[in-house]
Every structure is written in structure tokens, then in C-alpha cells.
Amino acid sequence: MSTSVPDGNVAAAARSSSTTPLLRLDDVHAEVAGQPVLRGVSLDVAEGEFVAVLGHNGAGKSTLLRTVLGLVPVRGGRISLAGEDITRTATPQVVRKGVSLVPQQRGYFENLSVADNLTFGARAEGRIGLDEIYELFPILRDRRAQLVGTMSGGQRQMVAISIALMSSPRLLLLDEPSVGLQPNLVARVMEVATQVNTEYGITVVLVEQNIEKVLQVAGRVVVINQGLVQMDAPVAEVTADRIWQLL
């Protein structure tokens, strides 16, 4: 994707063009409420990668993730999953093909118990079940009968992440999962994202504000600005200062 790869990122460009990426966005345009939000986003995510997406408020990060899921219609360009065109595929089918989103807000059912929330998104043949979730977040086992609406913000976020994992996705999209959480929970969320990436081989795209945390966990950093990819580089080639300059 030469249009989205900045100077000095030739290696990443060569790598992504040599094999079929798990996720490919090619010049994707999308509108929200009649206004253009994505203005030609091109981005490749290889299987097994951990990519962080940064950008100003309103830059289009959530829209980007929602567009992949089919929640925002594509006005131009193409989205493919493992080489298959999913540009106009309905959300339930995209989920069935292995894409899961933890939305920026309320990715759970407040009036259901923890256990019911988890089994709602479960896949019988999936590698991730209740045992694996309760191992990742032991508190959810203790609270499994509690209504999610009565839990703390941090516990709710654990439920939201767990619901997304219960479908045993190939690609997990996380939209600012650590916003509003206390530091130890932010660290736990980052650990879990890393764990599912390394232990389960799930490809992760994480939208996140915390640059320092991003540089610790991600393999590649993408900066979105006004609906375009402004930077796309391996973590080893960027510094927090350089990202700050773009934000």
C-alpha cells in the first residue's frame, strides 16, 4: 500500500505485499451521518500481528473498526479478509468469518448476568470457552451470576472483551478498551490483548490513546488523521515523541 506507507517503511510494505494479509483495506471511503469520515484508508494487517491505531478524537478510528465489521457502509474502496472481499458483507457474516469487535462503549447486555453475556457470543466449536475466559479474568467466575449493569466500569470492560473472545475470532478489534480504567486494570487489559495474540494466535487491532502502552505491546503503529493513514510503521522504528508530533 504505497499510498499509506511513509518514507523508511519499505520493509513493511514489501512484507505485506508478499503474502495475503488477514485484513486489507484498499482506499476505503466511508461516511457517518452524511459526512465523509474515512477518505481513502489503505492498511494491511498480517495474520498474527498486533497493530495499534492512534489518532485525534474524531479522526475516524472507531469508524474504521466499525466499517470493517460492516456497521458503517463503505462508499468506495475494498475491504478483504484473508483475500475474500467483505466490503459489503453483513455484520453477522463478518463475525462468523472470524472478526470480533469490542466497541468503544457498552459492548455487553446490562440486564443479563455475566455468564449469560458470555454464552451469548459463544461458538460451540470455538477454541475459547468459559474456562479460558475465567482463567483470563478470574473475577468473572466469582461474579458469573451478577447482572452486568450492576458491575464496575472495569468489570464491565472485562465482560465486553470476553464476549468478543467467546466467538474465538481470528481478528480481534479493540476500541479504546482501557479508557477510564485505573492503571492496574489498564495493564491487565494490555496483558490480555498480548496474551490472546501470542497464546491463541489472534490478530489484534487496538485503538488506544496511551502511546507509552502502545509502544510496549504493539508490533506496528498506525496513526489516523482526518480519515487517512498518516503513519504506518513498526514499533521499532517509531518513538513516543514522533507520534506526539503527529497528534
Ligand X SMILES: Nc1ncnc2c1ncn2[C@@H]1O[C@H](COP(=O)(O)OP(=O)(O)OP(=O)(O)O)[C@@H](O)[C@H]1O
Residues near ligand X (CB under 6 A) are 32-33, 37, 55, 57-63, 104
CB under 5 to 8 A by kind: which of Mg ion, ligand X, none does 92 bind?
none
Going by the DSSP 8-state scheme, the letter that residue 37 receives in this structure is E
Q: Which residues bind Mg ion (CB under 5 A)?
A: 61-62, 104
Q: Which of 33, 145 has the CB closer to ligand X? A: 33
Under 8 Å between Cβ of 168 and 127: yes
Our measurement of the distance from residue 207's CA atom to the centroid of its chain's CA atoms, rounded to an integer in Å, reads 6
CB under 5 to 8 A by kind: which of Mg ion, ligand X, none does 33 bind?
ligand X
Q: Is the dihedral of CA 222, 247, 3, 83 positive or negative?
A: positive
CB under 5 to 8 A by kind: which of ligand X, Mg ion, none does 206 bind?
none
Q: Nearest distance from residue 155's CB to ligand X, in Å?
A: 22
- Angle among Cα 165, 186, 175 to the nearest 5 degrees reads 50
Q: Nearest distance from residue 26's CB to ligand X, in Å?
A: 19
Q: Nearest distance from residue 223's CB to ligand X, in Å?
A: 11
CB under 5 to 8 A by kind: which of Mg ion, ligand X, none does 121 bind?
none
Q: Is the dihedral of CA 5, 209, 62, 152 positive or negative?
A: positive
Q: Which of 58, 83 has the CB closer to ligand X? A: 58
Q: Which of 37, 151 has the CB closer to ligand X? A: 37
Strands 50-55 and 74-81: unpaired
Q: Nearest distance from residue 228's CB to Mg ion, in Å?
A: 16
Going by the DSSP 8-state scheme, the letter that residue 147 receives in this structure is B
CB under 5 to 8 A by kind: which of ligand X, Mg ion, none does 59 bind?
ligand X
Under 8 Å between Cβ of 119 and 63: no
Q: Closest residue to Mg ion, Cβ-based? A: 62
Strands 74-81 and 23-32: antiparallel
For residues 138 and 131, what is the distance between their CA atoms, to the nearest angstrom?
10
Q: Which of 55, 107 has the CB closer to ligand X? A: 55
Name the strand (E) or helix (H) holding 96. Answer: helix 91-96
Q: Nearest distance from residue 173's CB to Mg ion, in Å?
A: 12
